[in-house]
């Protein structure tokens, strides 16, 4: 990619042990990838968490860090194991260490996805396995190396870290184009891998704040958090992680993929949410003499 595959904001000015991550909001599509796809440039964006990083871009003003992907989820999904790959997508055998039988692979949404939303196939023909492995080595691994670095440095400075994995979701269950009956989703879903990735008091406080702001919020149904939440959330080691899914109808037109007037209001509400969440006793570090300075690179 000519543009950096991902970016990190706020690390030099970090004063809170909180890291926000937006792995699915990238919108820079490599030309070669588009050439391989059977989808038009609009349809292929169906899996994007459009503009989620913009909703949370002010978190750096509150002392947090933000990492965001520039590459699209349809090209590479870093919220998966590194080698969750569908053998049927490729023109030659995959390495023996590839996980070809996971539920996510079976659903077409592995590390290199077979489909975008509404079960539309991405590729016009089978891929060379080396193409997928190159994406993993050149983008997936550096992305997770950076996330691990941020978490380790944050934990080393503050004695704790909270990772908030930021996503958006379609407004309806089911696929309207297919004639399947649909059901409205709540405004937001918080996922903590069924109580295993985050302290209960932290995620319960997050839910309280969002509900207090007037949003309908549920936990773990149907999104309990993906690989990132599960892999990095270790509450016993003071490494907490939860996922937030935001209903797209709150801020965008799902047909045109354009933000509407609700974006600004939602962004303001999320700013208040973040500022208040950081007041939770588990995240406060009022004695800054205990905070270790950032080491020189």
Q: pLDDT tens for residues 231-241? A: 999 999 999 99
Average pLDDT of the residues in 93-119: 96
Rounded to an integer, what distance in angstroms lies between the CA atom of residue 168 and that of residue 245? 5
- 254-275 pLDDT tens trace: 999 999 999 999 999 999 999 9
pLDDT digits (tens, 9 = 90+) for 189-221: 999 999 999 999 999 999 999 999 999 999 999
**pTM to 2 decimals?**
0.93
Q: Give 77's DSSP letter.
A: -
Q: Which domains does the chain have, with CATH numbers?
A: 6-26+52-72+128-290 (3.40.630.40)
Q: What residues pair up with 281 in beta bridges, in sequence order?
A: none
The per-residue pLDDT for range 114-163, each reduced to its tens digit, is 999 888 999 999 999 999 999 999 999 999 999 999 999 999 999 999 99
Cis peptide leading into 276, omega within 30 of 0?
no
How far is 209 from 130, CA to CA, in rounded Å? Answer: 46
* d(C-alpha 279, C-alpha 59), whole Å: 14
CB neighbour burial string for 220-257, b if at least 16 within 10 angstroms, e if fewer: beebbbbbbbbbbbbbeeebbbbbbbbbbbbbbebeee
């Amino acid at each position: 990619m000519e543009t950096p595959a991902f970016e990190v904001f706020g690390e030099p000015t970090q004063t809170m042990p909180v890291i926000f991550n937006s792995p699915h909001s990238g919108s820079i599509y490599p030309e070669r990838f588009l050439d391989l796809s059977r989808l038009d440039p609009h349809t292929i964006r169906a899996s994007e968490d459009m503009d989620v990083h913009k909703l949370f871009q002010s978190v750096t003003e509150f002392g947090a860090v933000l990492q965001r992907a520039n590459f699209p989820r349809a090209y590479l999904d870093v919220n998966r194991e590194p080698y969750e790959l569908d053998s049927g997508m490729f023109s030659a055998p995959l390495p023996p260490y590839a996980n070809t039988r996971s539920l996510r692979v079976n659903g077409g949404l592995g590390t290199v996805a077979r489909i975008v939303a509404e079960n539309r196939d991405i590729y016009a023909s089978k891929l060379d396995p080396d193409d997928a492995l190159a994406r993993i080595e050149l983008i997936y691994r550096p992305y997770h190396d950076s996330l691990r670095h941020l978490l380790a440095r944050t934990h080393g400075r503050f004695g704790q870290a909270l990772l908030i994995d930021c996503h958006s979701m379609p407004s309806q269950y089911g696929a309207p184009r297919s004639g399947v009956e649909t059901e409205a989703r709540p405004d937001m879903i918080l996922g903590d891998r069924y109580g295993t990735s985050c302290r209960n008091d932290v995620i319960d406080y997050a839910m309280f704040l969002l509900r207090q702001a007037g949003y309908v919020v549920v936990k773990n149904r149907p999104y309990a958090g993906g690989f990132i939440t599960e892999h990095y959330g270790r509450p016993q080691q003071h490494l907490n992680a939860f996922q937030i899914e935001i209903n797209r109808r709150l801020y965008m037109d799902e047909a045109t993929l354009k933000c509407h007037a609700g974006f600004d209001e939602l962004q303001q509400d999320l700013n208040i949410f973040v500022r208040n969440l950081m007041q939770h006793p588990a995240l406060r570090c009022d004695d800054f003499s205990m905070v270790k300075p950032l080491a020189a690179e």
